Amino acid sequence: MQMQILAKGLRLGQFAVILAAVQLFGGCATPPANPPESQPGLVRKHIDGSQPIAFYRVVVDVAPGTEIGRHYGGLLHVQNGTYYWNHGVVVGDLAFKRAATEEFKDSGFTLLGGDNLVFGDDNSARARFQLGATIKQITANGYDQFCGNYSEATVEVEWQLRDTYADKIVLTNTTSGYVRQTTAVSLYAEAFRNALAKLIATSPLTDIIAKNPKTDVSATNSAALIPITNPQPATPVSLPADMDRILQGVVVIKSGATSSSGFLVSHDGYLLTAAHCVSGLTEVMVKLKSGIELTAKVVRTDDAQDVALLKLPGDGYPGLTMDLNSPAPVGDEIYVIGEPKGEEFSVTKGVVSGYREREGDQTKFIQTDAAINFGNSGGPMLIASGKVIGIVDGKKIGFGVEGLGYGVPLDVVGRRLGISWVQ
């Protein structure tokens, strides 16, 4: 009996050895559904800057349960597993955005967005061009140590480039991306990056967002003074009765998908706004009260004081009058104009609450209790005579604080932007 059991045991052991050999050498193997391929000979395109572009979002449009690949083992690549996509539709995965950001930067584009993923600093909405992507198909295969010990993935991506100024899609294109690596970490994201590199290299993308002629955006300490003639009204202005006259000089600034406010300060097209409204840009779209839209060049910015000088083409603009005398006394009535939340211009009223300096630097602000909302940034602060005394900067909100509004006084604006006001 013991001999029979031993013999049976030997036969079982032999079967195990044979089974292992089959797995190792691939007996009865079938070829893989997506055999390994070499990395395509992609010649990446590098450019020296562009109009601002941002990666907006990716949508993975693959149905859950879809078979996307297989796992292979043995020297002859025996299939011993199947991969399925079980995530459903994925929108806005951070790994894809990071991969796109790195590819844009490495390719030399002027990229907005993804500035600080830890603290959420992201000005991508200000970019004129925004690129979105839909992943229509994914394949992925894995190979064990006897097959080469690597993973591979292919993605098919449908791209859409949106011009926010024109509010339309200006480019659609489809590319595929492939990656082969010894780890499965970021496998799909790296294949996605390869698809973007192909888009940059083979599509009209770079021609569409080609860099405009350089604009003089420079620090005031290294730039000549810009003379700006202070417009004077034909007849005296009194607020609030003449508010409609003032509104003719207030503008909406469109930077990408965001909007803010600004105001004309000369008949020949100079205008002021807050620097954060045009951050990273060399030109923006400006909408006048009449409804006309024009492109303005960003001439100078001062980020520390948060002020910017822009220039529209042509002449004959309804510029507002600057109050270049002594600062308005504390307690004086003040009017704030802007375009909150993309709506029509609104006017709020308060008083000059005081003048403040930020600790540690030379920046100065006008404090007011006038209501300031999103979209008011960059608009004018005026006194009852209809003269501008400052640029709306923002407000402070917090526990025990009702909302302190702040603006930048004109004397500071002129000094920081290198403006010589001509009476």
Specify the DSSP class assigned to residue 103: H
How far is 33 from 35, CA to CA, in rounded Å? 6
pLDDT for the residue numbered 403: 57
* pTM (two decimals): 0.64
Q: Which residue has the higher pLDDT, 343 or 150?
A: 150
Neighbour count for residue 300 (Cβ, 10 Å): 22
Kindly tell me if the per-residue pLDDT of 39 is higher than 70.
no
Per cent of the chain over pLDDT 70 is 79
Average of per-residue pLDDT values in the chain: 80
**pLDDT, average across residues 1-20:** 32
pLDDT band at 11 (very low <50, low <70, confident <90, very high): very low
- The one-letter amino acid code at 126 reads R
- The answer to whether 171 touches 161, Cβ cutoff 8 Å, is yes
Bond prior to 204 in cis (omega within 30° of 0): no
CA distances for 106 relative to 48, 101, 203, 253, 342, angstroms: 11, 9, 17, 30, 35
Specify the DSSP class assigned to residue 211: P
Fold of 19-208: Double Stranded RNA Binding Domain (3.30.160)
**pLDDT, average across residues 191-211:** 92
Q: At what angle do helices 187-202 and 94-106 cross, to 10 degrees?
A: 40
- 19-208 and 220-422 agree in CATH topology: no
pLDDT tens digits for range 78-128? 888 999 988 766 766 788 888 998 999 999 998 887 655 544 556 777 788
272-299 burial, b at 16+ Cβ within 10 Å, e below that, comes to: bbbbbbbbbbbbbbbbbbeeeeeebbbb
**pLDDT, average across residues 323-345:** 82
Task: Locate the DSSP E strands across 256-322.
Answer: 258-264, 270-273, 283-287, 293-302, 307-311
SS3 41: coil
Kindly tell me if the per-residue pLDDT of 68 is higher than 50.
yes
Q: Which residue has the higher pLDDT, 396 or 188?
A: 188
Domain limits of the chain? Answer: 19-208, 220-422
Q: For 220-422, CATH number?
A: 2.40.10.120
- Among 245, 379, 262, smallest CA distance to 318 is for 245
- The answer to whether 279 touches 260, Cβ cutoff 8 Å, is no
Lowest mean pLDDT among 23-32, 330-339, 359-368: 23-32
Q: Which residue has the higher pLDDT, 268 or 46?
A: 268
Kindly tell me if the per-residue pLDDT of 191 is higher than 60.
yes
**pLDDT, average across residues 224-245:** 92
Kindly tell me if the per-residue pLDDT of 371 is higher than 90.
no
pLDDT for the residue numbered 232: 92
Per cent of the chain over pLDDT 90 is 41
For 311, phi then psi, to 5°, come to -140, 125
pLDDT tens digits for range 146-173? 888 899 999 999 999 998 877 789 999 9
